Chain A
Amino acid sequence: MAGTQAMPPASPELAGDAGELNGKAVRGFILRFAGFSLMLALAPLIPGWDGLVSHYMSTLAVLVNGLLHLFGQPTQLEGANVFTSAFHVTLAPHCSALDIILFYSATVLAFPTSAVRKIVGLIAGFVAIAGLNLVRIATVYLTGIRWPAHVQSVHEELWPVLLIMGTVVLCAAWVCYARKGRAT
C-alpha cells in the first residue's frame, strides 16, 4: 500500500522526506491505530485471558526473583509474591505492563510494512518492554530495601514515566526499522 507512512512518533518534517504522505495515508494510519488499540484493549474479554495473564505474572515473579538473586538478595517466591523478611512486592495484574505492550503492538500492527517485519517488531518489542518491566519491579524492591521512604514515588511516579519514554523510543526505533524495510 503506497503512501501510508505517517505514524507515531514521527514529525511532519520526517514524514516530508518520504514525499508520499497525504491526508488519506495519515487518516488510514490513525483509523488502523485506533482500531487495533480498541481491539487489543478488549482482549481481556476473551475467555481464558485471566488464566493467561496469571501465568504471565507467575513467570514474571520467577524472573524477578531470579534477577534479585543475581543482585545478592535472598528473596523467596510464593505465587506472585517476592519477599524477604525485610520487604515484599506483590505482582498485581496492573504490574504486567500489558497496557504498554498493547499500545506498542497497535502501533506495529497499524504501520504498513511486511508481515515478517511486523512479527519481528512484535517479538522484539514484547521482549524489550517485558525486560524493562522486569527491571522496574526489581528496582522497586531494591528501593524498598534501601530507601523505603522513596518506594511510592519510584513505583508510581518515576517508573510509569520511564516506561512510557522507553515505549516512545521503541516506537521510533520500530518506525525506522519498518521504513528501512519499505525503502529496500
Chain B
Amino acid sequence: MQRKTVVRFLLIALGIYGVLTLGWSGFGDLYARGFRAALRAMMVSNTGVREADVLDEQPSSTVTRIIIANRNLLATDGSGPIRNVDFPNSTFWQATALFFALSLATSRPWLPRLLAAGAGFINMQTFIAGTVSFALWNEGRHVELSAISPAWAATTDQLQFILTEQATLVVPVLAWLAGLWPIFKRR
C-alpha cells in the first residue's frame, strides 16, 4: 500500500464530505425535502389504523417530525393522543454524504464508480426507509398501534437508537465496501 495513495484517497474523500456537509447547506436542504417527500409517499395514508403526518420545518428547520396517531383513539373532531417522532435532517444526510465521499474518492474508472455510487445510494435509502419504518412501529406502542412487553420495549428502544444513531456511521462504510465487491470478486 502506497502511503501517497492513502493520503490522496483521504484528501479527496474528506474534501467531498466537507463540501457536501459543510460547504453548502443547499445539499442538506435538498436531501431533507426529498426525504420528507419520500416519507409522505410511504407513510401518509387515508386508510388503516395508523394516521401519519410529515411536518415541514417544524419544530425547526433542522428536524423532520412525523406525527403518528391511532385512528381508533381519535375523536370525531380529530383530537386525541398523538406521538411525535423526530429525525434530525443532518443524521441521514451525513450518512449519505459519507457514502458518496468514500465511493467517489475510490480510484476506479468513472462509469463503475458512478454505477457503484448509484446502487449504494439506493441501498442506503432503503436502509433509511427501513429504519424510519421500524422507529414508527416502535414509537407506535405509545398510541396503541403496537403492543410489546416492557422487557421487549427496552430492547426495541435500544435497537431504534442503534439504527438511527450508530448505524448511520457503519452502514455507509458497508454500502461502500459492497460497491467494491465486483472488483474483488474477479480476483
Which of B6, B167, B178, B187 lies in contact with A172, CB distance below 8 A? B6
Binary A-proximity of B136-161 (CB < 8 A = 1, otherwise 0): 00000000000000000011001001
Give the complex CA separation of A179 and B6 in angstroms.
Answer: 12
Determine whether the beta carbon of B170 is less than 8 Å from that of A12: no
Determine whether the beta carbon of A157 is less than 8 Å from that of B177: no
Determine whether the beta carbon of A13 is less than 8 Å from that of B108: yes
Determine whether the beta carbon of B162 is less than 8 Å from that of A41: yes
Chain A contact residue count (CB 8 A cutoff): 48
Give the complex CA separation of A30 and B170 in angstroms.
Answer: 11
Most chain B beta-carbon neighbours within 10 Å: one of A9, A37, A41: A9
| Stretch from A14-22, A53-61, A140-148 that touches the partner | A14-22
Which of A6, A45, A106 lies in contact with B184, CB distance below 8 A? A6
Give the complex CA separation of A45 and B162 in angstroms.
Answer: 11
Whether B57 sits at the interface, judged by CB under 8 Å, is: no
- Residues of chain B within 8 A (CB-CB) of A11 are 5, 9, 105-108
Binary B-proximity of A157-176 (CB < 8 A = 1, otherwise 0): 11011001101110010011
Determine whether the beta carbon of B166 is less than 8 Å from that of A8: no
- Residues of chain A within 8 A (CB-CB) of B22 are 157-158, 161
Give the complex CA separation of A175 and B9 in angstroms.
Answer: 13
Kindly identify, within residues 22 to 55 of chain A, every residue whose CB is under 8 Å from any CB belonging to chain B: 22-23, 25-27, 29-30, 33-34, 37-38, 41-42, 44-45
Give the complex CA separation of A33 and B22 in angstroms.
Answer: 28
Q: Which residue numbers of B lie inside 8 Å of A, CB to CB?
A: 1-3, 5-6, 9-10, 13-14, 17-18, 21-22, 62, 88, 90, 94, 98, 102, 105-108, 154-155, 158, 161-162, 165-167, 169-170, 173-174, 176-178, 180-181, 183-187
